[in-house]
Structure 1
Amino acid sequence: MTVHDPLIAAASRTKSAIPDDAAMLRAAADLTRELSTARPAIYWPDMLASALVGYAALAGAILTGDAALMLAFGLAAMLALYRAASFIHELTHIRKGALPGFRLGWNLIVGIPLMIPSFMYEEVHTQHHARTRYGTANDPEYLPLALMKPWSLPLFILVAALAPLGLILRFAVLTPLSLMVPPLRRRVVAEFSALSINPAYRRRAPEGDFARQWMWQEAGACLFALALVGSIFAFGWKPLLTYMAVHSGMTVINQLRTLVAHLWENEGEAMTVTAQYLDSVNVPPPSPFAAIWAPVGLRYHALHHLLPSVPYHALGEAHKRLVATLASDSPYHKGNYPGMWPLVGKIARSTMGKR
């Protein structure tokens, strides 16, 4: 994308030229050294309870004949399954051996039934954290949304609303077809196998142990997608449509969260860690709803870019320590925002000048 407005282009260049703040980076490392251990006693109950509540509420929405109850159950299912699904982000950062069996358990309980197996995000999200990739054309999770046309934001959300249909097509149709047509398979791997927002991103074919993980996860998602479509003949349309509505709502919330995870003001230049932090967003307490729309530590997204190895359950404590220690003029304080809607408004206003 090319920015023609000289003021916007200058702002983008200014942000990409921000030097690293040594005091902030040193404090982030020193104050959180003992917080980097993922605790199975938190991960497993949180993920399992979220999935249990989500599937129970989904079943309630399918089985009830009352419209109000169906809506209530559907909302509960959407929020609980959204929380359960958000653990995919943690999977990409957990050190090998830190949580034995968690990747397998999450995929069987959440990833495959929601058609978002972890191979769709693993080895993709870590590129978003690469020092030389963040905010560039090679970043799978970055678009300069604040510098794009006004219609780009509604389109960004609409694409998310259609995600369940796209995932069914990906796994029920493209997976079996691509196994019989090698050129199609190469395209499916490169273009339709990543949870990314950058349409120019192309994925490399997996290798080694990851290729084996990819294979069984994709097979499981394929079988589930086929069973989902086949359920029409056994149970009618209601279970499938209810599942898709809940899944769509879950994906739209996540897309809104993604929309405010960054300021999206970089035009493609490589950025320092401090610049990446300032282009990212924390929504810390006392914001009352951030834990719902940005669960599993995602409310501390800017802090996560400083400390990607700190598990979600320790980010709140890390934030408290940094706020209490760093001077008031530290860049750290500039990455904290009060809520979602002021951020949506900020990005929307920025796009209004790109008619």
Structure 2
Amino acid sequence: MNAQNAIDLPPADARNSAQGSTWHSQMPDDKAMLRAAVELTRDIAAARPGIYWPDMLGSAALGYAALAGAILAGNPVVAVLLGVVASLALYRALLFIHELTHIHKDALPGFRFGWNLLVGVPMLIPSFMYEGVHTQHHARTRYGTVEDPEYLPLALMKPWSLPVFALTAILLPPALLIRSAVLVPLGAIVPPLRTLVWERVSALAINPQYKRRKPEGDFARMVFWQELTCSVWAIGLVAASFAWGWRPLLIALCVVSFTALLNQVRTLVAHLWENDGEAMTVTAQYLDSVNVPPPGFVAAMWAPVGLRYHALHHLLPSMPYHSLAEAHRRLTAHLEEGSTYGKASYPGLAPLLGRLARSTMKVR
């Protein structure tokens, strides 16, 4: 959902105040890097069901088991610890929505349905909220522009924008519950409300200017069934809470809020966010994106399902998450030291957050 309306976009000339950028929007493409990315990875470009299914199912099972434990635990410390485990596991399970937007529809039979049934609908984040949205972020002429639903020039905005951006994620779970339990059913009988809900609160977007187009064809039918299922589930949750108490739902909302916060912090460092709205070359897009490769295992927790290789993902959007580490190894070995490819790699979360904060402090 678009939860960033409280953040003001910077003026058009704000780009000039962010000094020390490592890229320019119209820098020439590094054709050797682009060619190597394609040629060296052809044999690992197929999604493997034997990895996707166990990973997604195991993450969801662990997440729900830990959530149940947090709800049932009598000891507050145990409840908090189990809640953190649940958040991390469900975070990983949820991020398979990113894979769903890129894999070929025939690559993993039943995976979209299974993910929606087990993760998307119970978490009130069905796959339609990302499908048809995220691909616009990868469009050659849209990335970093006002037409990109997933881009804000955060490095060019005021320092207070960063905590606001991160903390608004905490409100996402109750907002999703209200959306599915109240707004969608009301929209079924009030067409203007239905249009507003679809355009403004039916996409996992961060750009406050983004308005979603009306769905059509098979996608519209998929949206209908996912919306219906989510509304029935959300109404059922609220009704059960009236009947048996609100504690389980409140704990679940807290767990999902922490999951949403994790994802929002990851989003803060997925890119450098230094573009002022110009269309960018593929190489410029790559350098405005971030890899956090090994060594270090912590990145696999805050950027799971291959998202620690986010810059590489922008070079190879359809590459399955389980192949990104090998693709990175091959490209690093093939390209010379000091090549363009290595310039998108960073040591970790804290340095990236520090860089972003320093950039905002230079904005007048």
Query: What range describes the TM-score normalised by the shorter chain of this pair?
Result: over 0.9
Q: In structure 2, what is the equivalent of residue 343 of structure 1?
A: 352
- Does structure 1 residue 130 correspond to structure 2 residue 139? yes
TM-score by length of 1: 0.97
How far off its partner does 1:6 sit?
6.7
Q: In structure 1, what is the equivalent of residue 225 of structure 2?
A: 216
- Does structure 1 residue 107 correspond to structure 2 residue 121? no
How far off its partner does 1:157 sit?
1.0
Q: In structure 2, what is the equivalent of residue 96 of structure 1?
A: 105
Q: In structure 2, what is the equivalent of residue 171 of structure 1?
A: 180
How far off its partner does 1:4 sit?
3.7
- Structure 1 unaligned spans of 5+: none
Are 1:150 and 1:348, in contact at CA under 8 Å, matched by a contact in 2? yes
Are 1:3 and 1:9, in contact at CA under 8 Å, matched by a contact in 2? no
Q: 1:281 aligns with which of 290, 315, 322?
A: 290
- Does structure 1 residue 60 correspond to structure 2 residue 69? yes
Q: In structure 1, what is the equivalent of residue 200 of structure 2?
A: 191
| Matched length | 355
In 1, Cα distance between equivalents of 2:199 and 2:334: 45
- Does structure 1 residue 84 correspond to structure 2 residue 98? no
In 2, Cα distance between equivalents of 1:127 and 1:50: 28
Are 2:14 and 2:156, in contact at CA under 8 Å, matched by a contact in 1? no
Give per-residue Cα distances to partners, 1:31-56, cap 9 Å, x unaligned: 00111100000000000000000000
In 2, Cα distance between equivalents of 1:114 and 1:5: 38
Q: In structure 1, what is the equivalent of residue 7 of structure 2?
A: none
Q: Structure 1: which amino acid aligns with 2:158? A: K
Q: Structure 1: which amino acid aligns with 2:221? A: R
How far off its partner does 1:152 sit?
0.6
In 1, Cα distance between equivalents of 2:82 and 2:105: 37
Are 1:3 and 1:147, in contact at CA under 8 Å, matched by a contact in 2? no
Cα distance change on mapping 1:14 and 1:336 into 2, 3 Å: closer
Give per-residue Cα distances to partners, 1:234-265, cap 9 Å, x unaligned: 22121011000000000000000010000000
Are 2:130 and 2:203, in contact at CA under 8 Å, matched by a contact in 1? yes
Give per-residue Cα distances to partners, 1:84-120, cap 9 Å, x unaligned: 0000000000102100000000000000000100000
Q: Structure 1: which amino acid aligns with 2:134? A: H
Runs (4+) of structure 1 exceeding 2 A deviation are 3-14
Q: Structure 1: which amino acid aligns with 2:275? A: N
Are 2:15 and 2:274, in contact at CA under 8 Å, matched by a contact in 1? no
In 2, Cα distance between equivalents of 1:135 and 1:207: 26
Report matched runs for 1:1-355 at 5 Å: 1-5=10-14, 7-8=16-17, 15-354=24-363
In 2, Cα distance between equivalents of 1:235 and 1:344: 43
Are 2:138 and 2:314, in contact at CA under 8 Å, matched by a contact in 1? yes
In 1, Cα distance between equivalents of 2:126 and 2:15: 42
Are 1:9 and 1:267, in contact at CA under 8 Å, matched by a contact in 2? no
Are 2:17 and 2:363, in contact at CA under 8 Å, matched by a contact in 1? no
Give per-residue Cα distances to partners, 1:119-139, cap 9 Å, x unaligned: 000000000000000000000
Q: Structure 1: which amino acid aligns with 2:50? A: A
Give per-residue Cα distances to partners, 1:194-249, cap 9 Å, x unaligned: 00000100111111111111111111111111122122222212101100000000
Cα distance change on mapping 1:65 and 1:183 into 2, 3 Å: same
Partner of 2:333, secondary structure, is helix
Are 2:15 and 2:156, in contact at CA under 8 Å, matched by a contact in 1? no
In 1, Cα distance between equivalents of 2:337 and 2:255: 43
How far off its partner does 1:353 sit?
2.4
How far off its partner does 1:349 sit?
1.0
Are 1:303 and 1:315, in contact at CA under 8 Å, matched by a contact in 2? yes
Partner of 1:162, secondary structure, is helix
**RMSD over aligned Cα, in angstroms?**
1.4
Q: Structure 2: which amino acid aligns with 1:299? A: R
Q: In structure 1, what is the equivalent of residue 6 of structure 2?
A: none
- Structure 2 unaligned spans of 5+: 1-9
Partner of 1:269, secondary structure, is coil
